[in-house]
Amino acid sequence: MKMTSLLIACGLAIAPVACKKDKHDNDGVPSPKSVENAEKSAMEARSEVKDEQSDVAKENKDVAEQVDDVAKQADDVGVAQADFAKKRDEFVAKAKAQMSTLDARIAALKADVKANASKMKVDTRKEVDQLIIDLGKERAKAQAAFNAAANGAKDKWNDLENNTGEALGKMSDKANSLAEKLKNAGIKLRAEAEKADR
């Protein structure tokens, strides 16, 4: 709009100047040629203004289309983010349940170790103690992987999901090893310690 006004003003300003240059006499009447040139300049200026207006209208239309595209993409991202959040929440709930089951099993195994410590040979007791230490380390890794997955971003989700699953699997394997070692030592395990978690 400002550009249009400016161009019209320039065209109108050029016309009188052009008329003054071509005066042949001193009576103040412009020559027909100077009037014709001034009118021609004004017409060209109007044409340029119309072209500019047309270009601006096209650009406004393009901008409106781009805004619509961005809005659609934002909607798509919102739906994708909601789907991802649902998937993540379901995984976190399952992993949390598995972690709780493993924690209960490990607590029962530790209670069996404590209750039957006097019945174990020294070498077996050392191996069991080492398994309990290893189990604690695996528990810490599983907790760290679980926390990362619970707060994980979509672009790293597959890695976080796999890491958490692997950490829980290793923790379960250590618990199974401890249970097997206790059984081999002749210790009767309580029901919670016997449960298979997978």
- Domain positions in the chain are 2-73, 80-194
pLDDT in tens, 43-92: 777 777 777 778 778 877 777 777 777 777 666 667 777 888 888 888 88
Q: What integer pLDDT is reported at residue 167 of this predicted model?
A: 92
Q: Is the pTM value of this prediction over 0.75?
A: no
- pLDDT digit string, tens, across residues 113-166: 999 989 889 999 999 999 999 999 999 999 998 888 888 888 888 888 889 999
DSSP-derived letter for residue 28 is S
When comparing pLDDT for 22 and 180, which is higher? Answer: 180
24-27 CB contacts, 8 Å cutoff, 24+ apart: none
- The answer for residues whose C-beta is within 8 angstroms of residue 69's C-beta and 6 or more apart is none
Instruction: Provide mean pLDDT across the span 179-192.
Output: 89
Residue 10, pLDDT score: 52
Q: How far is CA 121 from the centre of its chain?
A: 55
Distance, CA of 95 to CA of 77 (rounded, Å): 26
The closest alpha carbon to 173, from 197, 193, 144, 154, belongs to 197
Contact 193, 179 (CB under 8 A): yes
Please give the Cα distance from 112 to 126 (Å, whole number): 15
Amino acid, res. 48: E
Residue 103: how many CB atoms within 10 A of its CB? 15
Third-level CATH fold of 80-194: Four Helix Bundle (Hemerythrin (Met), subunit A) (1.20.120)
